[in-house]
Amino acid sequence: MGNCQVTDAAAVVIQHPGGRAERLYWPTSASEVMKNNPGHYVALITLYVPEEKQDGTLRLTRVRLLKATDTLLLGQVYRLITSQEVMKAIQARKIEKMKKRQAEVMERQQQQRIGIDDEVVQVGKDGEDKEDSEITDQVAKQERDRHKTTSKQSAARPRHWRPSLPSIAETGS
């Protein structure tokens, strides 16, 4: 009777969305679990403690979706996740990445503007006898150069192939 804890550790625990926990005492594939629970994905649950907070005050659970070919291992905890939850998580991740990229682009543009403003101030201090039109021309040239580099960067991106000929409608005779 004292070995009951050993059998609990040697089980695959699957948490269902309703709160029910299913225990399997043999390794099984994720595809079998998904066949038994249509409309659900299998996810591996792991505890994650951020490195900056090692005192144990903040613990996060990470959820990693499994492929259908993956095997559920004994001693691990898995959760069934509905396909709607998966789609919401994917959308949230895309939005988060997009916001992060926008913030980076805004920051770069801000730094470039500050750099251009500094150069205009330096040009104004160095050549006080220059006319305002010369300073404006230099600023415009710098702006054009900046736009050229962004167009070169966009040209380096791969484009999808499109046929150059229009489709010809077939006539039935």
- Both 80 and 120 in a single domain? no
Cβ atoms of residues 76 and 38 within 8 Å: no
Query: Would you place residue 133 in the very low, low, confident or very high pLDDT band (cuts 50, 70, 90)?
Result: low
Average pLDDT over residues 5-25: 79
Cα 81 to Cα 84: distance, rounded to the nearest angstrom = 8
Strands 77-82 and 12-15: parallel
In this structure, is residue 156 part of a structural domain? no
Tens of pLDDT, residue by residue over 30-81, are 889 889 888 888 988 877 776 665 565 666 677 788 888 888 888 888 888 8
- Both 105 and 49 in a single domain? no
- Output the pLDDT for position 172: 67
- Output the pLDDT for position 153: 57
- Output the pLDDT for position 20: 87
- Both 42 and 66 in a single domain? yes
